[in-house]
Copies of this chain bind each other. A is one copy, B any other.
Amino acid sequence: MDELDSEILRLLQADARLSNRELARRLGVAPSTCLERVRALTRRGVIRGYHADINLGALNRGVQAMISVQVRPLSRAVIDAFEESVSKLPEVLSVFVLSGGDDFLLHVSAQDLDHLHAFLLDRLSKRKEIVGFRTSMIFQRVHNTVLSRLPDPAPAPR
């Protein structure tokens, strides 16, 4: 992971459809060099994929919410099963497994408030393992699509 790799990641995070040629031009290297770097980053799992970012409104998902969930018993089996099944629901954008007061955070979207309400009642309230959940509406979201590499951690003192 040298400077060139970091720059490639930066540019592809900003625009995944950059042609290899254009990428190479901006980095000041030959296209073949650039191509090999991108392939190596993909092979190593640093680049995990390329995804189009779609306007949620156009997908009939004008309403977003965060739902914090507590489940019991707090066993691996319950947690894994909950995460697995809930992440398949069409309304669910992301599932976070947390420490602390809540066990899960669900980022969901729905057509409107009625559908969100229906989702809460039909998909969550019925689950036996859920002992409580709290819903917060999302008014706005700012997403950082381009992430820089953070400085290396300082070595542990000895």
Contacts and interface: CB of A to CB of B under 8 A. Distances in A.
Interface of A: 1, 9, 12-17, 44-56, 58-61, 66, 83, 87, 90-102, 105, 109-112, 114-115, 134-153
Q: How many copies does the complex hold?
A: 2
B142 A95 contact: yes
B47 A50 contact: no
A132 to B, nearest CB: 13
B144 A12 contact: no
A23 B111 CA distance: 28
A16 B115 contact: no
A102 B136 contact: yes
A149 to B, nearest CB: 5
